[in-house]
Structure 1
């Protein structure tokens, strides 16, 4: 029997592309054939990175339907354009692939990420199997799946998704209590909520909803629906490049010069924007620490991200600042003491696999739920609290770093959770078995 041929279709932002790339690398190691779809805009922007990813995966590019000068941080605009532009071009792409080398080359399964649910319905109509690879927590996926119930129980407004009143709810058994104002769609606007209602309906055409998680991390969500399939952690070896952005590897050499558990690592992922006042306060907070720090500061690429003005009094002599970092290597480096994070799911999984305690600084979407898991359920981190002006002060940063660094009980829990998490991907582990189950399903 021929190995399955997966056409992987991520939503074209880094937080979706990287986990689907990591999953593709895992499938390729199991002998599967992979065609990975990116937009022409990202192909031009990431040309060198794609060339350095090796030959195991075949990358193909299609237009996203936007003009070069359009703002691709406008997510509703991107989502609508992709839905209008891609189906006809995707149909031609699949026809061309299927005609190229006979039966052995035919696409047997589509794997898509959030915001691309229409592609599962599209594939279903062509008789092609489909699966969702969810790039966030299983609990956040369960929250979207629970929208009809939340509307029925009058917890949220059916038109906007906003809570009808201030309250805390437990979305699932064995999950933390949640302020309804922190439901994943509340900070993203009415249009995003209505899109996700529609997108979640399309996800029903995927037989499996794959999640980069484990049964120990999110039992409540994973036990709720039989199509949830945990396959995490998707952590490749250090030799495998699994990011589309150019990484500054000099920071690893810099870490080598520091003693164990001495460096504070700060990174807020690929999308979160730190406002100018908050950026300056963070810089002053790191200066106050009297500890070395490694800080990822993305370059300003548009008018919304002019946040890189360092304050007077910031020297930064104890730290190293880079534009992008090889995060998995960093979080597995013995010099790292704690991780100041936006609580994006990819970062959390990488931190858990490094056994690193967290300082939680969520910005939007599922990041608030993830903070609750870190602080209240797993107890491997603490939250950073805003003052009356809505700013996380330099004093708060110093206080919470000191609270985490050197906390032996928290470090012990972090190392125990690391062991439990990684065991799932080892041979005979539950995630490893689930992955083989998925590949066997795709072959049939």
Structure 2
């Protein structure tokens, strides 16, 4: 018998950014001849848009990546945004089904060797299952090392009486994990960046899971680079940075999204001058009230610069997105609105001048690797820490400031965009940071070498 084909099972947390990060990692593993079974909960699997996809099980018949799903216990009418119910249902139902799937994989092909289970740090129970089944486990952190360091710091925050046992604030103050790491307000800790109590509890429990995951995993992988966050990486024992994650064939790899991409925007970008377009996109979780939506729309209009704006169907709190009176007609010659965009290709386009963003980690890395400056509008989770990186550490962007009513005004948007587009220092810093990020993932770079070592070890 010849050498067995290495096979890994990948289990993402049920969220678009987590799915996308682990999907990119899976493509990179497949490029090295490793078979991947990508396992989603049923409700996530049903939302994915994979193009092209001739069959339900994979992108193509000879693909190295096989997409499967396991029951999650949710009924069609259940509210998928009820994070507490979602978490309880998944923990009750998914482990048994995943164990059966893994046993089936082990028994079904004598020419393959199941060598590793890879899962999110916050979705740590598959690592427990891996340990039980005698399979090596890799914990993957899709966000920045700084956010992971904060999660691992929870026991010390409790000891210092900054938070209680449930993560609720006792003291509101600035904290620094080390002299070199950017400071952050305790009110901006990832679980405190929402007023939804159920969401707060779920995020805090996920952060606590990080402390459990690093104790049982063989590998701790992070979608970051040592050169981007040296101060954070040195706080986390045995971390292996393998980012910024990008597939070797990202320009042509099949899409795997929750929303259908509108590629007509690429043709529109082709008609715009070099470094002239403001790209505006806030991920899949930000929701605006009608007042704030109007201010955003009018702020973009008043800049008089061409802009590409991603407006999801559920972007506002109304049933139908309502633009200011006459807005669509007035911006017809210099604005393009789509429901979802192929972000990598957009940010790589020479007409893009800046990225107006919520500062999600995936979006941050996308722009960093393309040398694009940022206008920052963080909203929740780890986005405030990323804003600190962008504006205060890397110095590649500016941040918006809300007024006394919590609204970011049209004038604030226009003023900051005009300033950003003419800030030569920020533009130069963005290009320098792109070189740093690119170097680490190219041959000989730290992330390149870390990923190569991981591949070698799981192929054994």
TM-score by length of 1: 0.95
63-72 or 233-242, which deviates more: 233-242
Q: Tell whether the 8 Å contact from 2:270 to 2:351 is kept in structure 1 after alignment.
A: yes
Instruction: Report the counterpart of residue 223 of structure 2 in structure 1.
Output: 212
Partner SS, residue 304 of structure 2: coil
Q: Residue by residue, what CA displacement relative to the aligned partner does 1:348-405 show, whole Å, maximum 9, x if unpaired? A: 0000011000000111010000000000000000111100110000000000001110
Q: CA deviation at 1:40?
A: 2.3
Instruction: Report the counterpart of residue 77 of structure 2 in structure 1.
Output: 69
1:136 aligns to 2:147 (yes or no): no
Q: Tell whether the 8 Å contact from 1:375 to 1:382 is kept in structure 2 after alignment.
A: yes
Alignment of 1:183-332 (within 5 A): 183-188=189-194, 189=197, 190-196=200-206, 198-203=208-213, 204-236=215-247, 237-244=250-257, 245-300=259-314, 306=319, 308-315=321-328, 316-317=331-332, 318-332=334-348
**How many residues end up aligned between the 2 structures?**
441
Partner SS, residue 363 of structure 1: coil
1:172 aligns to 2:185 (yes or no): no
Q: Tell whether the 8 Å contact from 1:273 to 1:305 is kept in structure 2 after alignment.
A: no
CA-atom RMSD in angstroms:
1.8
Q: Tell me: CA distance 1:56–1:194, structure 2 relative to 1, closer, same or farther (3 Å).
A: same
1:59 and 1:349 mapped to 2: Cα distance? 26
Q: Tell me: CA distance 1:79–1:304, structure 2 relative to 1, closer, same or farther (3 Å).
A: farther
Instruction: Report the counterpart of residue 187 of structure 2 in structure 1.
Output: 181
Q: CA deviation at 1:118?
A: 1.1
Partner SS, residue 58 of structure 1: strand
1:206 and 1:437 mapped to 2: Cα distance? 16
1:339 aligns to 2:355 (yes or no): yes
Q: Tell whether the 8 Å contact from 2:123 to 2:206 is kept in structure 1 after alignment.
A: no
Unaligned runs of 5+ in 2: none
Unaligned runs of 5+ in 1: none
Q: CA deviation at 1:76?
A: 2.4
Partner SS, residue 192 of structure 2: coil
TM-score by length of 2: 0.92
2:144 and 2:262 mapped to 1: Cα distance? 28
Instruction: Report the counterpart of residue 7 of structure 1 in structure 2.
Output: 9
Q: Tell whether the 8 Å contact from 1:171 to 1:178 is kept in structure 2 after alignment.
A: no
Instruction: Report the counterpart of residue 358 of structure 1 in structure 2.
Output: 374
1:305 and 1:234 mapped to 2: Cα distance? 36
1:417 aligns to 2:423 (yes or no): no
Q: Tell me: CA distance 1:305–1:439, structure 2 relative to 1, closer, same or farther (3 Å).
A: farther
Q: Tell whether the 8 Å contact from 1:157 to 1:163 is kept in structure 2 after alignment.
A: yes
1:127 aligns to 2:134 (yes or no): yes
2:38 and 2:96 mapped to 1: Cα distance? 17
Q: CA deviation at 1:86?
A: 0.5
1:209 and 1:437 mapped to 2: Cα distance? 13
Partner SS, residue 66 of structure 1: coil
2:14 and 2:103 mapped to 1: Cα distance? 22
55-64 or 375-384, which deviates more: 55-64
Match of 1:97 among 91, 97, 105: 105
433-442 or 169-178, which deviates more: 169-178
